[in-house]
Structure 1
Amino acid sequence: MRRLQITTLGCKVNQYESASLVEQMKSFGWRPVLKGMPFDLCIINTCTVTQKASMQSRQAVRKAIRSNPQAVIIVTGCYAQTDPDEIAAISGVDYIAGHSRKFSIPKIADSLVHGDLPRIDVEDVKRPFPFQDMPLNDFAGKTRPFLKIQDGCDAFCSYCVVPYARGRSRSLPAKILLERVKNISDRGYKELVLTGIHLAKYGLDLTPSMNFLHILKEIESLAGDLRIRISSIEPMEVSEGLIDFIARSEKVCHHLHIPLQNGDDRILRQMNRRYSSKSYRELIEKIVAKVPDIAIGADVLAGFPGESDRSFERTASFVRQLPVAYLHVFPFSRRRQTRALGLSDQIPPEIIKKRCAVLREIDEEKRKRFYTRFIGQKMSVLLEETPDRRTGRLKGLTTNYIPVIIADNRGHKNRLTALRLLRIEGKRVVGEIDQECSSFS
């Protein structure tokens, strides 16, 4: 049987699509192999959200070529879509597939011959095209399967290349989506992670149209024992109805990731973010008031052009005061096609690095403060298939996104288990099985 390796960079959507490619390739007679083993074909599913991501994508391509010089090399994903010529310049690449061609890779893999000039198969994503369904039934090694329900983005934030890589917003038809949810529930999984590029735009392109809250209610009604995690949602799309639904629901996880990007209103306008720092703060405070144990995460981007020392200090002060549980910190990265590429007053890399360090210190403080609130409490933790890399212990997540490792390995994988949280250990919390009530399911 022919040997296949897939390397994936980037977001949950990329991870889902790679898993779907593996499943489809297996049906065409390919056998996935582990890293470091010889392969006949390698697919590199790339990312280009930052300059670093593009660099890492090129490194992954070159590494695959060096390790198996005679193998067929296919490059796909966001970097392949936006910069196919840069990839074609790497000697040893055989096929470059844009997003609209990714789903057809399993059908054409057999026809590719190593050593030909790289075939570039990239279409313009500016033109409308439908959601391309990449089904996935085998979640091997996953305790919390992802389900991609939406793709593309219409926001065009001035720093972001994603709309140029992924195209316009489009949705998985509701009937198929609900069938997938039921299948995942029937197979005994305990958590489902809903993923997309601009998730809360789900359904607006469908006929008849629907909104994200509508489909979330439909999902909940079919979820059985599944708890449902929302991967990321923009602040403008967190409605009163959604907040109330999360507060009432016994299945939707008390966890939202709501990108902020900056705490200075002038910079937010330059970023083409359609809210103010005041409205963002009021939203977060409203959510926390209605769902007191919720974990809210926020993306923060450091070093956007024109971000003065005073602007950055305003952002740092703003996020310190926000009742969020953690931050994801990113350095500004100049991306081709974006409006921010040509803005004046670009910030030197060494200053961006220092600002990121300050924000990451705030992130550590936020996480520690949030975790401390729950020490001594009994929490429902979904124990995962894959053990913690550092300790070898079973690990899992609470509904409100606290990473937990257990003191011994007597727990049961893929089960919601009652743990008492004991202490913070590094970036995790140590818990022990509560003997009075060892399982929630």
Structure 2
Amino acid sequence: MPEFITTTIGCKVNQCESESIAKSMISSGWTESVDKTGADVCIINTCTVTQKASMQSRQAIRQAIRSNPEALIIVTGCYAETEPDELNKIGGISLIIGNKEKEKIAEIIKSVFESRAHSGTPAPAVRQGGRTRAFLKIQDGCDSFCTYCIVPYARGKSRSVQVQSVIESVNALKKAGYREVVLSGIHLGKFGQDLFPAATLTELLELITNPSLIDRVRLSSIEPNELTPEIIKLAAESGKICHHFHIPLQSGDNGILKRMHRPYSREYFKDLVLLIKESMPDAAIGVDILAGFPGETDDAFRNTYSLIEELPVSYLHVFPFSARKKTPAFDYPEQVPASVIKERCTQMRRLGESKKADFYQKAVGTVTDILIEEKRDEKSGLLKGISSNYISVLIAGNERIKNRIVKVRINKVIGKSAKVETEDGKI
């Protein structure tokens, strides 16, 4: 039976799509190889959001070619969409397939190999998380054109999955044994605006929180101006929407935000965070920060640092500015030196580590529901779980509590996890 491998660089959407491609391939009679050598087909799903991501994509392609010299090498994803000429310089690539054709990869391979296959890709791409959590892509593309971002050029216009299709997918995931679904998209807050009739993310969440559907629903990254009071209120009251919000702030300086073409202010973001914590005191709030955008002076950076330092955020994802061709920021004056960007990233990451440690420590003594995952912690042998508010936990227990939601008390913090026990001390 022919074998294939997939390699994925980048975001959760890419991961979802790679799983969907793999599912199509398996349905077509292929076997997913457990090794990275000797495959008949290698599919590399690339990313180009930063220069580092582009470099990692090229490295993954070259590694696949070296390890599988006889294989069909297929390159797809955002780097394939935006830089096909660069990819053509790499000898050994068989096919370059843009994002719009990504879901047809199984069909394309069928035509090349003249083998049994069908596309079978569900409209919402799914990444499976060990039969406990499933990542469901409900939206793709972006119309915002932030001045630093290559994604709209790579992904195209915003496109939403039909509401009924999403509901059917969530229902199917529940029947397959999943307890949690993570809704993902390139621009999640724009869900439904392109549909006819139009829909909103709030309306979709109201449907998904129906008692007969999935136990928990989590949102992936959502823009500050699209995390509405209605969504926050629904999350606080529903009992099903996880108290976890990942928000791409990018900068805490109003001048830089304007230059980035971000449609909010530092004051708006501050009010949003405080509203979330007022509604859900236990909520985890993750924040994306882009350090070193052109024109980011020392004062502008301090504005970002001081805003995060002041607010009750839970963790940070910090990225260095990376000039991308085709974006306006590529030609902006006042480019920040690489050494300065590196130092600012270091400072923000240290602040992020401090925020996360503080968030975990404040959770000690609290009672929360955790979803027990399928795999144990390799070092301790304890079961792993994740709380609604995104705390990674370790718990002693036997196999029968895997994929169950258990009420626990958090006892102490151990490294990057929290040690917990059940409320009654029994498993």
TM-score where L is the length of structure 2? 0.94
Q: Deviations over 1:203-234 (max 9, x none)?
A: 11111001110111011116535200011111
Q: Confirm or deny: 8 A CA contact 2:133 2:180 kept in the other structure.
A: yes
Check 1:62–1:325 CA distance in 2 against 1; reply closer, same or farther (3 A cut).
same
CA shift for structure 1 position 326:
0.9
Equivalent position of 1:22 in the other structure: 22
Equivalent position of 1:125 in the other structure: none
Larger mean CA deviation between 406-415 and 249-258 belongs to 406-415
- The alignment-based identity, stated in percent, is 48
- Structure 1: gaps spanning 5 or more residues: 114-131
Q: Confirm or deny: 8 A CA contact 2:315 2:356 kept in the other structure.
A: yes
Query: In structure 1, what residue type is equivalent to 2:336?
Result: I
Q: Is 1:31 aligned to 2:20, yes or no?
A: no
Equivalent position of 2:162 in the other structure: 173
CA shift for structure 1 position 105:
0.9
CA shift for structure 1 position 392:
4.3
Query: In structure 2, what residue type is equivalent to 1:304?
Result: F
CA shift for structure 1 position 79:
0.6
Query: Following superposition of structure 1 onto structure 2, how do residues 111-126 of structure 1 map, counting pairs within 5 Å?
Result: 111-112=111-112
Q: Deviations over 1:182-214 (max 9, x none)?
A: 111222211100000100111111110011101
CA shift for structure 1 position 420:
2.3
Equivalent position of 2:118 in the other structure: none
Q: Is 1:235 aligned to 2:224, yes or no?
A: yes
- The one of 365, 382, 395 aligned to 2:354: 365
Query: In structure 1, what residue type is equivalent to 2:38?
Result: P
3-state secondary structure, aligned to 2:271: helix
Q: Is 1:201 aligned to 2:185, yes or no?
A: no
Q: Deviations over 1:329-381 (max 9, x none)?
A: 11001111111100011111111111001001111111111111111222211
Query: In structure 1, what residue type is equivalent to 2:21?
Result: L
- Work out the CA distance in 1 between the residues paired with 2:212 and 2:299: 48
- Work out the CA distance in 2 between the residues paired with 1:142 and 1:306: 46
Query: Following superposition of structure 1 onto structure 2, how do residues 28-427 of structure 1 map, counting pairs within 5 Å?
Result: 28-112=28-112, 134=123, 139=128, 141-221=130-210, 224-407=213-396, 412-427=401-416
3-state secondary structure, aligned to 2:249: coil
Check 1:285–1:138 CA distance in 2 against 1; reply closer, same or farther (3 A cut).
closer
3-state secondary structure, aligned to 1:356: helix
Query: In structure 1, what residue type is equivalent to 2:268?
Result: S
Q: Confirm or deny: 8 A CA contact 1:418 1:437 kept in the other structure.
A: no
Query: In structure 1, what residue type is equivalent to 2:87?
Result: I
TM-score where L is the length of structure 1? 0.91
CA shift for structure 1 position 70:
0.9
Larger mean CA deviation between 217-226 and 174-183 belongs to 217-226
Check 1:366–1:345 CA distance in 2 against 1; reply closer, same or farther (3 A cut).
same
Q: Confirm or deny: 8 A CA contact 1:103 1:134 kept in the other structure.
A: no
Query: In structure 2, what residue type is equivalent to 1:336?
Result: K
Query: In structure 1, what residue type is equivalent to 2:22?
Result: V
- Work out the CA distance in 1 between the residues paired with 2:125 and 2:260: 35
- Work out the CA distance in 2 between the residues paired with 1:73 and 1:133: 24
Equivalent position of 1:129 in the other structure: none
3-state secondary structure, aligned to 1:43: strand
- Work out the CA distance in 2 between the residues paired with 1:393 and 1:59: 35
- Work out the CA distance in 1 between the residues paired with 2:8 and 2:27: 20
Check 1:225–1:210 CA distance in 2 against 1; reply closer, same or farther (3 A cut).
closer
- Work out the CA distance in 2 between the residues paired with 1:176 and 1:222: 18
Check 1:30–1:50 CA distance in 2 against 1; reply closer, same or farther (3 A cut).
same
Check 1:178–1:76 CA distance in 2 against 1; reply closer, same or farther (3 A cut).
same
Check 1:414–1:198 CA distance in 2 against 1; reply closer, same or farther (3 A cut).
same
- Work out the CA distance in 2 between the residues paired with 1:392 and 1:90: 44
CA shift for structure 1 position 412:
2.1
3-state secondary structure, aligned to 2:198: coil
- Work out the CA distance in 1 between the residues paired with 2:35 and 2:11: 20
Check 1:175–1:134 CA distance in 2 against 1; reply closer, same or farther (3 A cut).
closer
- Work out the CA distance in 1 between the residues paired with 2:341 and 2:367: 41
3-state secondary structure, aligned to 1:53: helix
Check 1:202–1:135 CA distance in 2 against 1; reply closer, same or farther (3 A cut).
closer
Query: In structure 1, what residue type is equivalent to 2:266?
Result: S
- Work out the CA distance in 2 between the residues paired with 1:93 and 1:337: 24
- Work out the CA distance in 1 between the residues paired with 2:330 and 2:124: 36
Check 1:234–1:308 CA distance in 2 against 1; reply closer, same or farther (3 A cut).
same
- Work out the CA distance in 2 between the residues paired with 1:410 and 1:140: 17
Check 1:312–1:191 CA distance in 2 against 1; reply closer, same or farther (3 A cut).
same
- Work out the CA distance in 1 between the residues paired with 2:197 and 2:303: 44
Q: Confirm or deny: 8 A CA contact 1:44 1:76 kept in the other structure.
A: yes
Larger mean CA deviation between 209-218 and 426-435 belongs to 426-435
Check 1:14–1:407 CA distance in 2 against 1; reply closer, same or farther (3 A cut).
same
- Structure 2: gaps spanning 5 or more residues: 114-120
Q: Confirm or deny: 8 A CA contact 2:181 2:214 kept in the other structure.
A: no
CA shift for structure 1 position 312:
0.8
3-state secondary structure, aligned to 1:74: strand
- Work out the CA distance in 2 between the residues paired with 1:39 and 1:4: 5
3-state secondary structure, aligned to 1:66: helix
3-state secondary structure, aligned to 2:74: strand
CA shift for structure 1 position 35:
3.4
Q: Confirm or deny: 8 A CA contact 1:227 1:253 kept in the other structure.
A: yes
Q: Confirm or deny: 8 A CA contact 1:181 1:223 kept in the other structure.
A: no
Q: Confirm or deny: 8 A CA contact 1:383 1:414 kept in the other structure.
A: yes
- Work out the CA distance in 2 between the residues paired with 1:419 and 1:320: 30
3-state secondary structure, aligned to 1:386: strand
Check 1:223–1:367 CA distance in 2 against 1; reply closer, same or farther (3 A cut).
farther
Q: Deviations over 1:290-337 (max 9, x none)?
A: 111111111011000111111111211111001111111110011111
Q: Confirm or deny: 8 A CA contact 2:20 2:122 kept in the other structure.
A: no
Larger mean CA deviation between 384-393 and 133-142 belongs to 133-142
Check 1:390–1:91 CA distance in 2 against 1; reply closer, same or farther (3 A cut).
farther
Check 1:385–1:326 CA distance in 2 against 1; reply closer, same or farther (3 A cut).
same
